[in-house]
């Protein structure tokens, strides 16, 4: 192989040397220094995000523990209902107390599959030709906190034949021990 011998003046050698140093410094910065600091800043951001997530998890954990404690109180309330409790019979008894038992058109009970210690029991019932006052009285009796009952849906239709009377369809549910 032939060796190329280039003769350069002193000033040209300084310029070529400075260019080579600049190129070397440029490559050193872009291949080693900048990636190092970039990965370091990404690591710091990742740590901050993980710390925030940990705080959120700890907050959710404390909320979960509080809810578990309060659900124990619900379990006691449900156990206080007795073994033979059914939503159907309770709603029928409350309708009788409100003077609506003879106005019940139908009652359809249903129960969902048990999930853990609890199951959801639902009843759909329809009343015919009742006054709004009777409906409010019945709803007031249902919504008693000791009953742990929820009205999921209510549909009220005005009757054409009887002024001041309505037909009401209620979908009511409660949680029961499985």
For residue 1, the model assigns a pLDDT of: 63
Three-state secondary structure of 109-172: EEECCCECCEEEEEEEEEEEEEEHHHHHHHHHHHCCHHHCEEEEEEEEEECCCCCCEEEEEEEE
For residue 34, the model assigns a pLDDT of: 86
| CATH architecture of the domain formed by 87-177 | 2-Layer Sandwich (3.30)
pTM of the model: 0.57
117 has pLDDT over 80: no
| Higher pLDDT pick, 145 / 159 | 159
146 has pLDDT over 90: no
């Amino acid at each position: 192989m032939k060796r190329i011998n280039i003769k350069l003046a002193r000033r040209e050698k300084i310029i070529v040397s400075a260019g080579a140093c600049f190129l070397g410094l440029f490559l050193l910065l872009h291949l080693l220094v900048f990636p190092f600091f970039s990965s370091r800043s990404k690591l710091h951001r990742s740590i901050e995000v993980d710390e925030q997530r940990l705080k959120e998890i700890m907050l959710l954990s404390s909320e979960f523990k509080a809810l578990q404690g309060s659900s124990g109180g619900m379990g006691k309330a449900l156990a206080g209902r007795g073994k033979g409790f059914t939503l159907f019979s309770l709603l029928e008894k409350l309708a009788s107390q409100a003077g609506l038992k003879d106005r019940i058109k139908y009652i359809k009970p249903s129960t969902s599959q048990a999930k853990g210690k609890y199951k959801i029991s639902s009843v759909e019932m329809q009343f015919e030709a009742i006054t709004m006052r009777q409906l409010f009285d019945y709803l007031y009796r249902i919504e008693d906190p000791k009953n742990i009952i929820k009205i999921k849906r209510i549909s009220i239709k005005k009757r054409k034949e009887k002024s001041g009377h309505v037909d009401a369809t209620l979908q009511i549910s409660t949680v029961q021990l499985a």
